[in-house]
């Protein structure tokens, strides 16, 4: 059916996909973190420290926005009655050292984690942080290196980053959209449990925290006990809103302290490396990536500026300074004319781009209008070029879904040249950029590309009892990974729905999306002034 003849079908298909994914999660995995659709059971994982219901929290705003009110009410009731923020679970498997936001270190060559299906994935490509294709650790957008210890730690040990973007972000968004006090109560309680992670000599938080005891430590695979840029740099939006709701400045103070340190230390060529010591406050390695380990740090700079009603001049200066350094050192043009962002390792370029880095088209797009006047059209053009390149990574595969990473060397362009990079785990970043670029330009190609993704997801990732990632995007004989990621419900389907919706649904001038696609309202200057006046009155 031609694209322009199915507008009604487009508008209805995405909520139907969401309902199908949700219904199967509810039937087979209710209260667990994610659904395993092939084996029809739930997956708990080790990233959330004993917290449960990640798919429920990640789905609250999506269900509400799509008007799936029966499903939303079931989710709200579960939060009210079953979201336990004080769980102390039996000893079990614990992942030591894992990922980093759309991050994860394809860092070691060692960690070897067998999957349920018997497929082995090496850490180098394997644990894609936002998730591993074998589903043993599910982490937001990234790749990771980890080892598994049996019966050593309690499940109170959580990724600060993952809990913040999924649980804190999801509860904040649900509260702001609905006004339901239960979400505010829960998020305030959870926010307090994250503060001990900042108890370091520099105030840079460590990546792992025991939600019960408050003890924190760095990922075992992170170089020299370092913290990860995309993790400690992806707290600002949520923590500012925690201060807004609680009227307690401590959350904002914690994230502003991170900013102060970053502004003080030297940046190689103006770039921000991925690893920083929370003890010394110095960079540990000079590896720079706009994909895993680095990505959402940059995203939160421009979004902090936008969320502040464009008053956070420090965030603005940091963002455009970083973007200038990225353009000077990382942005490349392939022989075939594709613009991409390489990775930087101590001055040597690695000509690959991860799926995670494909969020950057949308990021540069939403920041274009506030750049220097002479650069605004340039930034919008750059955003369009990067989004085009990421679409090419989809278009050049047999399934029309993109690989985890694609390269621009050895004669290939926008294709995965390594077997270990060929998987797709329902990631949202390419579709995210389609949505932003549609909102900014209304070029119909972005909706056309989004519809291609819908058709590919339906054809290759939909199984009898949910949606699953696939192990090789270059073969039509797909092998599924048996994991319906929670971010598929929070991000991939939400961005698709917004792509096909009117611009006045969550307009970009009023809302910013955290890196898990949870919408948070812009904090208006008038609101801040009113609060300051009220505070003075109370003090008198």
State the residue for tokens 């400045």: 249
Positions marked active-site: 162, 295, 404, 429
**Which of 329, 324, 332 minimizes the C-alpha distance to 346?**
329
Beta bridge partners of 511: 521
Give dist(CA 102, CA 100) in Å, integer: 6
Per DSSP, which regions of 458-499 are E strands? 462-463, 466-467
Give dist(CA 309, CA 27) in Å, integer: 42
Give dist(CA 527, CA 241) in Å, integer: 13
Tell me what pLDDT residue 534 has.
Answer: 58
pLDDT in tens, 285-311: 999 999 999 999 999 999 999 999 999
238 contacts 165 by C-beta, under 8 angstroms: yes
Give dist(CA 185, CA 146) in Å, integer: 34
Q: Structure pTM?
A: 0.89
C-alpha dist (Å) from residue 258 to 98, 185, 263, 264, 276 = 22, 27, 9, 10, 11
Give dist(CA 7, CA 12) in Å, integer: 9
Q: How many C-beta atoms lie closer than 10 Å to residue 376's C-beta? A: 14
C-alpha dist (Å) from residue 126 to 113, 120, 135, 419 = 8, 8, 10, 11
Give dist(CA 146, CA 112) in Å, integer: 8
Tell me what pLDDT residue 64 has.
Answer: 98
Q: Please report which helix (H) or strand (E) contains residue 432, including its range.
A: helix 429-441
* CA 209, chain centre distance (Å): 19
307 contacts 522 by C-beta, under 8 angstroms: yes
Tell me what pLDDT residue 115 has.
Answer: 26
DSSP state of 477: S
> Backbone phi, then psi, for 447, in 5-degree steps?
-70, -35
Report domain extents, the chain: 5-83+155-523
Give dist(CA 487, CA 394) in Å, integer: 19
DSSP state of 33: S
Give dist(CA 177, CA 180) in Å, integer: 8
**Which of 472, 498, 484 minimizes the C-alpha distance to 419?**
472
Low pLDDT (below 70) residues in the chain: 1-8, 87-155, 527-540
Q: How many C-beta atoms lie closer than 10 Å to residue 329's C-beta? A: 18
Tell me what pLDDT residue 35 has.
Answer: 98
Which distant-in-sequence residues (6+ apart) come within 8 Å of 176 by Cβ? 519, 520, 521
**Which of 248, 292, 494 minimizes the C-alpha distance to 404?**
292
Tell me what pLDDT residue 157 has.
Answer: 86
Give dist(CA 198, CA 530) in Å, integer: 30
Binding-site annotation: residue ranges for Ca(2+): 515
State the residue for tokens 């290196």: 145
228: left (phi over 0), alpha (psi -120 to 50) or beta: beta
Six-digit token string for 189: 């309680």
Question: For 115, how many CA atoms within 13 A lie in the half-sphere containing its CB?
Answer: 22
Give dist(CA 534, CA 231) in Å, integer: 34
pLDDT in tens, 211-255: 999 999 999 999 899 999 999 999 999 999 999 999 999 999 999
| 5-83+155-523: CATH number | 1.50.10.10
Tell me what pLDDT residue 111 has.
Answer: 27
Give dist(CA 300, CA 314) in Å, integer: 12
Beta bridge partners of 352: 407
Six-digit token string for 457: 């997801």
């Amino acid at each position: 059916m031609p694209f322009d003849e199915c507008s009604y079908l487009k508008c209805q298909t995405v909520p139907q996909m969401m309902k199908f994914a949700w219904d199967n999660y509810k039937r087979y995995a209710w209260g667990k973190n994610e659904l395993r659709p092939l084996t029809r059971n739930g997956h708990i994982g080790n990233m959330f420290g004993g917290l449960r219901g990640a798919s429920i929290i990640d789905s609250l705003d999506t269900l509400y926005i799509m008007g799936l009110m029966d499903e939303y009410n079931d989710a709200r009731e579960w939060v009210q009655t079953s979201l336990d923020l004080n769980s102390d679970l039996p000893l079990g498997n614990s992942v030591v050292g894992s990922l980093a936001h759309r991050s994860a270190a394809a860092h070691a060559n060692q960690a070897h984690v067998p999957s349920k299906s018997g497929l082995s994935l090496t850490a180098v490509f394997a644990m894609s942080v936002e998730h591993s294709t074998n589903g043993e650790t599910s982490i937001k957008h990234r790749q990771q290196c980890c080892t598994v210890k049996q019966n050593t730690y309690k499940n109170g040990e959580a990724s600060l980053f993952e809990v913040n973007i999924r649980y804190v972000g999801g509860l904040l968004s649900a509260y702001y959209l609905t006004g339901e006090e239960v979400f505010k109560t829960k998020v305030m309680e959870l926010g307090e449990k994250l503060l001990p992670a900042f108890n370091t000599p520099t105030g840079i938080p460590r990546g792992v925290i025991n939600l019960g005891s408050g003890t924190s430590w760095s990922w075992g695979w992170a170089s020299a006990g370092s913290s990860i840029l995309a993790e400690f740099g992806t707290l600002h939006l949520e923590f500012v809103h925690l201060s807004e709701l609680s009227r307690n400045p401590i959350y904002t103070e914690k994230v502003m302290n991170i900013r102060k340190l970053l502004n003080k230390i030297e940046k190689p060529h103006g770039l921000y490396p991925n690893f920083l010591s929370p003890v010394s406050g110095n960079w540990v390695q000079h590896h720079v990536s706009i994909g895993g380990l680095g990505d959402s740090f940059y995203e939160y700079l421009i979004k902090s500026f936008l969320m502040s009603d464009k008053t956070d001049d420090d965030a603005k200066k940091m963002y455009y300074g970083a973007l200038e350094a990225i353009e000077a050192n990382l942005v490349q043009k392939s022989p075939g004319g594709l613009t991409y962002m390489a990775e930087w390792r101590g001055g040597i370029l690695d000509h690959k781009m991860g799926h995670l880095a494909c969020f950057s088209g949308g990021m540069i797009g939403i920041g274009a209008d506030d750049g220097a006047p002479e650069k605004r059209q340039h930034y919008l053009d750059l955003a369009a070029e990067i989004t085009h390149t990421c679409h090419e990574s989809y278009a050049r595969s047999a399934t029309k879904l993109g690989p985890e990473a694609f390269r621009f060397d050895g004669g290939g362009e926008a294709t995965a040249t390594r077997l270990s990079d060929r998987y797709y785990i329902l990631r949202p970043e390419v579709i995210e950029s389609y949505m932003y670029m549609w909102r900014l330009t209304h070029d119909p190609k972005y909706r056309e590309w989004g519809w291609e993704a819908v058709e590919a997801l339906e054809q290759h990732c939909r199984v009898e009892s949910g949606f699953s990632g696939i192990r090789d995007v270059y073969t039509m004989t797909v092998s599924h990974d048996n994991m319906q990621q929670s971010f598929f419900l929070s991000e991939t389907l939400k961005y698709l729905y917004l792509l096909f919706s009117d611009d006045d649904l969550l307009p970009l001038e009023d809302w910013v999306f955290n890196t898990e696609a949870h919408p948070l309202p812009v904090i208006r200057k008038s609101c801040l002034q009113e609060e300051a006046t009220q505070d003075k009155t109370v003090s008198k």
